[in-house]
Amino acid sequence: MSDWQPKLYLEFGKERTQPSIDLINRIDYDSPKRIIDIGCGPGNSTFVLKARWTEAEIIGLDNSEAMINEAELKYPAMNWLCADASGDLTSLGKFDIVFSNAAIQWIPNQKKLLTSVYGMLNKGGVLAIQVPCTKNMQIHTELDKLVSSAKWKGLFTDIATTYSIHTADFYYDILCDLSSEIDLWETDYYHIMNTHSDIMKWYSGSGLRPYFDCLKDEPVKTEFINEYENALKDAYPTQKDGKILFPFTRIFFIAKSI
């Protein structure tokens, strides 16, 4: 799969960062010494962690060189590591907080991953994660309908993606084997978009990446984008002031190591 485009991703930086702020505000830990941000991207969530716990050693980890380069450029005084979170991270040692904001949906075998990163916690440490739940969101269901249609499905037979969607009960069933102290909730964020093209731009910076990789011919890619955007116009009606409400569901969970 092609690498991320940090600048495109950060065009909606405020909206993408708010869930990390909300999650961090729910973490009950006074003075953690070591924190790791799994799938830190361009460092927006890692910076929020540092703003709260200024004295802690914080590592931002991501497997995207482009994202890590952007993080290093924007926050040069912080610690960044380009590495695959699905690999062996034991050499990094133990942490008081293992954090992740909108990243683990891209990592294979989330059950194995969560068990592994939970094992990186010190006693009394906190696992705190936010993950999008796009399963029933129209931006995802309309995409599914389009790519499975007779016209388009032949172009996506070799799609390279590790993206997987799960609901809250899936995460609870994993966490309850690890901890007896679990906090689990779901939030719908209503993003106010100026145009349906903005919704396309939002998804182009994340979920559409593997689909665009399959469309090598630019006119074909443009046709696909136009058809998808037209489907989104039907799915997301324009409000009376001309803006579009773009609801986005996110799952949050916190588990304590005891």
For each of the domains in the chain, give its residue range(s) and CATH number, in order of start: 6-256 (3.40.50.150)
Is pLDDT larger for residue 258 or for residue 55? 55
Q: Provide the edge-to-edge strand list for the sheet that holds 34-38.
A: 79-82, 57-62, 34-38, 95-101, 121-132, 244-256, 182-193
Tell me what pLDDT residue 118 has: 98
Residue found under tokens 């389009």: 146
Tell me what pLDDT residue 162 has: 81
* Per-residue model confidence as pLDDT tens digits over 214-251: 999 999 999 999 999 999 999 999 999 999 999 999 99
Tell me what pLDDT residue 7 has: 85
Residue found under tokens 């040692």: 93
Tell me what pLDDT residue 9 has: 87
Query: Is the pLDDT score of 56 beyond 90?
Result: yes
Give the other-Cβ count within 10 Å of 93's Cβ.
11
Give the Cα-Cα-Cα angle 249, 253, 256 (nearest 5 degrees): 175
For 127, phi then psi, to 5°, come to: -95, 125
* Per-residue model confidence as pLDDT tens digits over 103-141: 999 999 999 999 999 999 999 999 999 999 998 999 999
pTM: 0.95
Residue found under tokens 């998808």: 228
- The separation between CA 222 and the C-alpha centre of its own chain, rounded to angstroms, equals 26
Q: Tell me, what DSSP letter sits at residue 237?
A: P
Instruction: Identify the CA nearest to 22 among candidates 254, 255, 257, 258.
Output: 254
Give the Cα-Cα-Cα angle 249, 143, 110 (nearest 5 degrees): 55
Give the other-Cβ count within 10 Å of 62's Cβ.
26
Query: Is the pLDDT score of 257 beyond 80?
Result: yes
Q: d(Cα 238, Cα 195) in Å, to the nearest integer?
A: 9
* Per-residue model confidence as pLDDT tens digits over 61-78: 999 999 999 999 999 999
For 72, phi then psi, to 5°, come to: -65, -35
27-36 mean pLDDT: 97
**DSSP code per residue over 146-174:** HHTSTTTGGGGTT---------HHHHHHH
pLDDT classification of 1: cutoffs 50, 70, 90: low
Q: Burial level of 213, CB count in 10 A (0-12/13-18/19+)?
A: middle
Pairing of strands 182-193, 244-256: antiparallel
Tell me what pLDDT residue 186 has: 97
2-12 mean pLDDT: 83
For 75, phi then psi, to 5°, come to: -130, 70
Q: d(Cα 14, Cα 19) in Å, to the nearest integer?
A: 9
Question: 155: Cβ–Cβ under 8 A, 6 or more apart, which residues?
Answer: 214, 215, 220
Query: Is the pLDDT score of 258 beyond 90?
Result: no
157-172 mean pLDDT: 90
